[in-house]
Amino acid sequence: MTDTFEIKPATIDDAPLILSFIKELAEYEKLLHEVVATEEILRETLFGENAHAEVVIGYLNYKPISFALYFHNFSTFLGRPGIYLEDLFVKPEARGKGIGQKMLAYLACLAKSRKCGRLEWWVLDWNETAIGFYKRIGAKPMDDWTVYRVTDKALDDLAASWKENNSKNTTFVEQKT
Protein backbone atom coordinates (compact mmCIF):
# COMPACT_ATOMS: atom_id res chain seq x y z
CA MET A 1 0.00 0.00 0.00
CA THR A 2 1.27 3.46 -0.91
CA ASP A 3 1.17 6.10 1.77
CA THR A 4 -0.56 9.37 0.96
CA PHE A 5 0.83 12.61 2.30
CA GLU A 6 -0.91 15.97 2.16
CA ILE A 7 -0.11 19.41 3.57
CA LYS A 8 -3.03 21.69 4.38
CA PRO A 9 -3.23 25.20 5.84
CA ALA A 10 -4.57 25.07 9.39
CA THR A 11 -7.94 26.58 10.24
CA ILE A 12 -9.30 28.02 13.47
CA ASP A 13 -10.86 24.61 14.20
CA ASP A 14 -7.32 23.16 14.30
CA ALA A 15 -6.34 25.18 17.42
CA PRO A 16 -6.60 22.13 19.74
CA LEU A 17 -4.48 20.06 17.33
CA ILE A 18 -1.89 22.83 16.98
CA LEU A 19 -1.66 23.14 20.76
CA SER A 20 -1.15 19.39 21.07
CA PHE A 21 1.69 19.54 18.50
CA ILE A 22 3.27 22.47 20.38
CA LYS A 23 3.16 20.51 23.63
CA GLU A 24 4.62 17.38 22.01
CA LEU A 25 7.45 19.44 20.54
CA ALA A 26 8.06 21.19 23.87
CA GLU A 27 8.19 17.84 25.64
CA TYR A 28 10.74 16.54 23.10
CA GLU A 29 12.81 19.70 23.61
CA LYS A 30 12.53 19.36 27.41
CA LEU A 31 10.72 22.72 27.55
CA LEU A 32 7.12 21.71 28.31
CA HIS A 33 7.23 23.80 31.49
CA GLU A 34 7.57 26.93 29.29
CA VAL A 35 4.36 26.40 27.30
CA VAL A 36 1.72 28.93 28.33
CA ALA A 37 -0.17 28.97 25.02
CA THR A 38 -3.84 28.01 25.14
CA GLU A 39 -6.37 27.20 22.44
CA GLU A 40 -7.90 30.65 22.96
CA ILE A 41 -4.54 32.40 22.56
CA LEU A 42 -3.82 30.41 19.38
CA ARG A 43 -7.24 31.22 17.92
CA GLU A 44 -6.60 34.92 18.49
CA THR A 45 -2.95 35.10 17.40
CA LEU A 46 -3.07 32.68 14.46
CA PHE A 47 -6.58 33.24 13.10
CA GLY A 48 -7.81 36.53 14.58
CA GLU A 49 -8.07 39.96 13.01
CA ASN A 50 -4.33 40.55 13.45
CA ALA A 51 -2.95 37.06 12.82
CA HIS A 52 0.79 36.93 13.45
CA ALA A 53 1.78 33.56 12.03
CA GLU A 54 0.60 30.76 9.77
CA VAL A 55 0.40 27.01 10.31
CA VAL A 56 0.31 24.05 7.97
CA ILE A 57 -0.48 20.51 9.01
CA GLY A 58 0.91 17.39 7.38
CA TYR A 59 -1.39 14.39 7.05
CA LEU A 60 -0.07 10.88 6.48
CA ASN A 61 -2.87 8.60 5.30
CA TYR A 62 -5.33 11.31 6.42
CA LYS A 63 -3.94 11.35 9.98
CA PRO A 64 -2.29 14.57 11.26
CA ILE A 65 1.36 13.74 11.94
CA SER A 66 3.29 16.99 11.48
CA PHE A 67 2.98 20.73 11.67
CA ALA A 68 4.96 23.83 10.80
CA LEU A 69 4.36 27.28 12.27
CA TYR A 70 5.99 30.18 10.42
CA PHE A 71 5.81 33.92 9.80
CA HIS A 72 7.46 36.58 7.67
CA ASN A 73 10.54 38.47 8.69
CA PHE A 74 12.50 40.93 6.57
CA SER A 75 16.09 41.19 5.36
CA THR A 76 17.26 44.76 4.92
CA PHE A 77 20.32 43.50 3.02
CA LEU A 78 18.20 41.55 0.53
CA GLY A 79 15.40 44.11 0.54
CA ARG A 80 12.99 41.19 0.66
CA PRO A 81 10.88 39.31 3.17
CA GLY A 82 11.85 35.89 4.39
CA ILE A 83 10.01 33.07 6.06
CA TYR A 84 11.03 32.26 9.60
CA LEU A 85 10.10 28.75 10.67
CA GLU A 86 9.30 28.89 14.38
CA ASP A 87 8.40 25.22 14.79
CA LEU A 88 8.54 22.07 12.71
CA PHE A 89 7.48 18.84 14.34
CA VAL A 90 6.93 15.32 13.04
CA LYS A 91 5.43 12.74 15.38
CA PRO A 92 7.96 10.04 16.31
CA GLU A 93 6.00 7.26 14.58
CA ALA A 94 6.21 9.13 11.25
CA ARG A 95 9.90 10.03 11.36
CA GLY A 96 12.23 8.57 8.77
CA LYS A 97 9.58 8.72 6.03
CA GLY A 98 10.69 12.00 4.48
CA ILE A 99 7.92 14.03 6.13
CA GLY A 100 10.26 16.71 7.53
CA GLN A 101 11.89 17.20 4.13
CA LYS A 102 8.48 17.47 2.46
CA MET A 103 7.37 20.07 4.99
CA LEU A 104 10.53 22.13 4.41
CA ALA A 105 10.24 21.74 0.63
CA TYR A 106 6.66 23.04 0.86
CA LEU A 107 7.86 26.07 2.83
CA ALA A 108 10.67 26.64 0.31
CA CYS A 109 8.10 26.67 -2.52
CA LEU A 110 5.93 29.03 -0.50
CA ALA A 111 8.92 31.32 0.09
CA LYS A 112 9.71 31.38 -3.62
CA SER A 113 6.09 32.07 -4.58
CA ARG A 114 6.02 35.00 -2.11
CA LYS A 115 9.31 36.35 -3.49
CA CYS A 116 11.11 35.73 -0.21
CA GLY A 117 14.89 35.81 -0.12
CA ARG A 118 15.34 33.11 2.49
CA LEU A 119 13.87 30.46 4.76
CA GLU A 120 15.45 30.21 8.18
CA TRP A 121 15.02 28.69 11.64
CA TRP A 122 16.84 27.94 14.87
CA VAL A 123 17.81 24.51 16.15
CA LEU A 124 18.87 23.51 19.64
CA ASP A 125 22.60 22.77 19.83
CA TRP A 126 22.01 19.32 21.34
CA ASN A 127 19.61 18.18 18.58
CA GLU A 128 22.24 16.38 16.49
CA THR A 129 19.63 14.41 14.52
CA ALA A 130 17.95 17.60 13.32
CA ILE A 131 21.30 19.34 12.66
CA GLY A 132 22.44 16.41 10.50
CA PHE A 133 19.16 16.44 8.57
CA TYR A 134 19.31 20.20 7.99
CA LYS A 135 22.88 19.99 6.72
CA ARG A 136 21.92 17.17 4.33
CA ILE A 137 19.28 19.37 2.70
CA GLY A 138 21.77 22.21 2.26
CA ALA A 139 21.01 24.40 5.28
CA LYS A 140 23.99 26.28 6.68
CA PRO A 141 24.48 27.13 10.37
CA MET A 142 24.85 30.82 11.18
CA ASP A 143 27.61 30.24 13.72
CA ASP A 144 28.77 33.85 13.62
CA TRP A 145 25.47 35.16 15.04
CA THR A 146 24.23 35.01 18.63
CA VAL A 147 20.54 35.20 19.44
CA TYR A 148 19.46 37.70 22.08
CA ARG A 149 16.05 37.80 23.70
CA VAL A 150 14.25 40.14 26.09
CA THR A 151 11.25 38.62 27.93
CA ASP A 152 9.27 38.80 31.14
CA LYS A 153 10.47 41.46 33.61
CA ALA A 154 13.30 42.62 31.33
CA LEU A 155 10.75 43.28 28.56
CA ASP A 156 8.48 45.12 31.00
CA ASP A 157 11.41 47.19 32.28
CA LEU A 158 12.62 48.07 28.78
CA ALA A 159 9.14 49.17 27.70
CA ALA A 160 8.76 51.20 30.91
CA SER A 161 12.09 52.92 30.22
CA TRP A 162 10.66 54.21 26.92
CA LYS A 163 7.77 55.81 28.75
CA GLU A 164 9.96 57.22 31.52
CA ASN A 165 12.72 58.59 29.30
CA ASN A 166 10.81 59.70 26.23
CA SER A 167 7.41 60.87 27.37
CA LYS A 168 8.27 64.57 27.25
CA ASN A 169 10.00 64.94 23.89
CA THR A 170 9.10 61.82 21.89
CA THR A 171 5.79 60.48 20.73
CA PHE A 172 4.96 56.80 20.56
CA VAL A 173 2.57 56.04 17.74
CA GLU A 174 1.48 52.42 17.55
CA GLN A 175 1.60 51.07 14.02
CA LYS A 176 -1.30 49.20 12.53
CA THR A 177 -0.41 45.79 11.14
Q: How far is CA 78 from the centre of its chain?
A: 21
Report how far residue 148's alpha carbon sits from residue 159's, in angstroms, rounded to the nearest whole number: 16
Contact indicator for 97, 60 with CB cutoff of 8 Å: yes
Q: Which domains does the chain have, with CATH numbers?
A: 5-143 (3.40.630.30)
Phi, psi angle pair for 120, to nearest 5°: -145, 165
Which listed residue (70, 106, 134, 148) is catalytic? 134
Return per-residue pLDDT of the chain as tens, 177 residues: 789 999 999 999 999 999 999 999 999 999 999 999 999 999 999 999 999 999 999 999 999 999 999 999 999 999 999 999 999 999 999 999 999 999 999 999 999 999 999 999 999 999 999 999 999 999 999 999 988 999 899 999 988 887 777 666 666 667 665
For the question of residue 106 being annotated catalytic, the response is no
